[in-house]
Amino acid sequence: MRTITADLAIIGSGSGNSLITPFWDDRRVVIAERGVFGGTCLNAGCIPTKMYVRPAALARSPEEAARLGVAMRTEAVDWPGIRDRIFSRIDAISAAGERYRAEDLDNVELISQEVRLTGARSFVAADGTRVEAEQLVIAAGSRPVIPDIPGIGLPQVHTSDTVMRLAEQPGRVLIIGGGYVASEFAGIFAGLGSEVVQVVRGERLLRGLDAEISARFTAEAGRRWDVRLGCEVRGIEAARGGVARGGVTVEVGPTARGAGDPAEAADRAGAADRIPADVVLVAIGRIPNSDLVGAAAAGLDLHADGRIVVDEFQRVRSGGAPVTGLYALGDVSSPHQLKHVANHEARVVAHNLEHPDDLRRSRQEVVPAAVFSDPELAQVGLTEREAGARIGAEHVTVATQRTGDTAYGWAMEDSTGVFTIVADRRDGRILGAHAMGYQASNLIQVVVMAMSFGIDAHAAARGQYWIHPALMEVVENALLGLDVPRGPEL
Ligand SMILES: Cc1cc2nc3c(=O)[nH]c(=O)nc-3n(C[C@H](O)[C@H](O)[C@H](O)COP(=O)(O)OP(=O)(O)OC[C@H]3O[C@@H](n4cnc5c(N)ncnc54)[C@H](O)[C@@H]3O)c2cc1C
Ligand SMILES: NC(=O)c1ccc[n+]([C@@H]2O[C@H](COP(=O)([O-])OP(=O)(O)OC[C@H]3O[C@@H](n4cnc5c(N)ncnc54)[C@H](O)[C@@H]3O)[C@@H](O)[C@H]2O)c1
């Protein structure tokens, strides 16, 4: 069997692909990829989902237009056309990236197979090819969790990996889960006109977000699609006729968990709905692919949830100590599972590979996130409760601005948008922000910038002009609503 000796070996072609900088032009690099080249974000994650979000927003715009006195109608949604537009672009980028790595670069070898670690800086591919490297990076990502439910293997059951490539738009989608993926797809399918039933174990959607925003979003989602809170899927069966295009029947009942006494638990277990659906989407979290690379067998330290343990320089730990020349980045090691975090870590690792005597730390203090659902959500930093626990509730000041109470909100007749900022009342330091509504992911970036560069709330509000009457005045007003010390003004 062949053994390749490399200066750098990378497992995973998502964020890992960006590590091959010009520095490696005269050095030997191996990159292994078991699936589609380019990883999750490009092929089945951020990019295609957001390319569906836009047509979904357009398709549901008649509802908003009617509020403003414009009568519009969505004539039709061309799912195959939308799908093919999205994937003709994406598949071409993936194929070109693969070709470039496999054929155009003499110093890079692409191994299109699953590989498993045989040591700290070596691995073996499925066909027996061995790779021994001076430095190795594990950028193996994560994959959807599949629950152990009867019928889970039916062809109508999908994950985010497959649901965007359906041959036709489903009439009715049943979505299991209340997190990011579930809430984004619920918004997409409902916007495009599919009936959506979202089955959630807890009492709120997106429970990881600020409690107020999560409660407001749960209420908004319930107005747009059928949200079954406190429920679980007990089984999925192929429908015997009745459901168009060979769908399924899904048994959904209240969660037995949390029922106080056994009689109530028994009642809950007995009650169940049988819900027909064309497609079931499972979206209950993602597990790190550390098992696929054989991280435990190679002696690498793992967190309880399967993530590889790294230090602040992204060096992998084994027996508590960092392993020289072995790094991990992205979903396989990060608690965030966000592409902008994986990209940042890849930039840090790229530097550290090239400068082993001058290591850089990855910075995780101010990590924003957005959920591109309907309505859109965004967050950064601490919630009010977390801030209270951190600095004492008496030092926390919070202001919430409704979009509907600003000039742009009047123009939109907005009734959903809110922007909340949490700060330290002693010095105006911004601790967090939580937003829901139109363009929430863009609006929050101003706060991300203030937090990243240490601009206090009053300086952010009054140290610059805010264009009037732009939507961004929502953020200005939230900043002005905080009880913080006032400094110089523009
Ligand atoms: C539906 C969806 C929507 C998302 N939307 C957003 C968003 O809007 N914004 C955002 O910030 N994040 C989003 N994310 C999260 C984002 O996609 C991930 O955080 C990011 O892609 C992780 O990058 P990565 O490089 O760590 O892993 P990946 O891109 O998953 O790359 C890992 C690669 O390693 C390969 N691999 C694994 N094991 C092996 C092995 N043993 N041998 C060889 N190859 C192997 C895998 O096949 C994979 O291609 C979304 C995720 C999903 C699922
Ligand atoms: N816009 C974005 O940035 C974006 C979009 C999609 C995904 N992502 C990333 O991908 C990650 C994974 O997304 P996700 O939505 O799969 O996970 P998630 O962690 O966001 O949500 C998982 C949901 O499933 C529920 N759940 C867990 N186990 C369950 C079970 N056995 N039965 C029923 N429900 C169960 C949880 O309570 C939760 O509501 C996210 O955490 C996020 O970091 C980001």
CB burial string 129-143: b at 16+ within 10 A, e below: bebbbebbbbbbbbb
Same domain as 50, residue 14: yes
Within-domain flag for 259: yes
Which atom of ligand 1 sits closest to the CA of residue 336?
19
Same domain as 72, residue 32: yes
Instruction: Establish whether residue 182 lines the binding site of ligand 2, counting it when its CB lies within 6 angstroms of any ligand atom.
Output: yes
Candidate list 336, 340, 355, 468, residue with the active-site label: 468
Neighbour count for residue 90 (Cβ, 10 Å): 19
Within-domain flag for 315: yes
The pLDDT value given to residue 265: 65
Same domain as 345, residue 398: no
Within-domain flag for 232: yes
Q: Kindly report the CATH number assigned to the domain that includes residue 166.
A: 3.50.50.60
Q: Angle at the Cα of 48 (from 286 to 202), degrees rounded to 5?
A: 40
Q: How far is the CA of 181 from the centre of ligand 2 (A)?
A: 6
Q: Kindly report the CATH number assigned to the domain that includes residue 455.
A: 3.30.390.30
Within-domain flag for 488: no
Please confirm whether the linkage preceding 469 is cis (ω < 30° from 0): yes
Same domain as 260, residue 295: no
Within-domain flag for 189: yes
Which atom of ligand 1 sits closest to the CA of residue 16?
25
Same domain as 125, residue 25: yes
Asked whether the ipTM of the predicted complex exceeds the cut of 0.95, the reply is: yes
Q: Which of 252, 267, 284 is the last residue of a domain?
A: 284
Neighbour count for residue 82 (Cβ, 10 Å): 19
Phi, psi values for residue 119, rounded to 5° = -170, -170
Provide the token pair at 312: 């602040």
Provide the token pair at 249: 């029947």
The pLDDT value given to residue 238: 95
Nearest Cα neighbor of 311 from 382, 364, 354 is 364
Axis crossing angle, helix 440-453 with helix 473-480, rounded to the nearest 10: 50
Same domain as 291, residue 274: no
490 residues of the chain, pLDDT tens digit each: 899 999 999 999 999 999 999 999 999 999 999 999 999 999 999 999 999 999 999 999 999 999 999 999 999 999 999 999 999 999 999 999 999 999 999 999 999 999 999 999 999 999 999 999 999 999 999 999 999 999 999 999 999 999 999 999 999 999 999 999 999 999 999 999 999 999 999 999 999 999 999 999 999 999 999 999 999 999 999 987 544 558 999 999 999 765 566 676 666 666 899 999 999 999 999 999 999 999 999 999 999 999 999 999 999 999 999 999 999 999 999 999 999 999 999 999 999 999 999 999 999 999 999 999 999 999 999 999 999 999 999 999 999 999 999 999 999 999 999 999 999 999 999 999 999 999 999 999 999 999 999 999 999 999 999 999 999 999 999 999 999 999 888 8
> According to the annotation, is 334 in a ligand binding site?
no
Provide the token pair at 114: 């699953």
The rounded distance, in Å, linking the Cα atoms of 285 and 177 is 8
Instruction: Determine the residue of 31, 40, 292 to mutate for testing ligand 1's pocket, defined as the one with the most ligand atoms within 8 A of the Cβ atom.
Output: 40
- 336 belongs to the catalytic site: no
What are the residues facing 379 on neighbouring strands?
369, 434
Q: Range of 87's domain?
A: 3-143+287-354
The pLDDT value given to residue 271: 83
Axis crossing angle, helix 211-224 with helix 180-192, rounded to the nearest 10: 30
Which atom of ligand 1 sits closest to the CA of residue 140?
34
* Number of domains forming the structure of the chain: 3
Provide the token pair at 472: 């961004």
Q: Which residue minimizes the CA distance to atom 29 of ligand 2?
A: 284
Q: How far is the CA of 176 from the centre of ligand 2 (A)?
A: 10
Residues of the chain by 3-state class (helix, strand, coil), percent to 5: 35, 25, 40
Instruction: Establish whether residue 334 lines the binding site of ligand 1, counting it when its CB lies within 6 angstroms of any ligand atom.
Output: no
Q: Which of 265, 284, 303 is the last residue of a domain?
A: 284
- Amino acid at the residue 127: D
**What is the longest distance spanned by two Cα atoms in the chain?**
72
The pLDDT value given to residue 245: 58
Same domain as 139, residue 16: yes
Same domain as 193, residue 139: no
Provide the token pair at 179: 């997190």
Instruction: Establish whether residue 370 lines the binding site of ligand 2, counting it when its CB lies within 6 angstroms of any ligand atom.
Output: yes
Instruction: Establish whether residue 372 lines the binding site of ligand 2, counting it when its CB lies within 6 angstroms of any ligand atom.
Output: yes
The rounded distance, in Å, linking the Cα atoms of 391 and 83 is 48
Same domain as 398, residue 336: no
The rounded distance, in Å, linking the Cα atoms of 103 and 262 is 64
The pLDDT value given to residue 490: 86
Q: Output DSSP code: residue 275.
A: E
The pLDDT value given to residue 243: 44
Within-domain flag for 169: yes
Same domain as 403, residue 414: yes
Instruction: Establish whether residue 185 lines the binding site of ligand 2, counting it when its CB lies within 6 angstroms of any ligand atom.
Output: no
The pLDDT value given to residue 39: 98
Instruction: Determine the residue of 181, 184, 232 to mutate for testing ligand 2's pocket, defined as the one with the most ligand atoms within 8 A of the Cβ atom.
Output: 181
Instruction: Establish whether residue 98 lines the binding site of ligand 1, counting it when its CB lies within 6 angstroms of any ligand atom.
Output: no
Q: Which of 284, 300, 322 is the last residue of a domain?
A: 284
Same domain as 277, residue 220: yes
Same domain as 211, residue 294: no
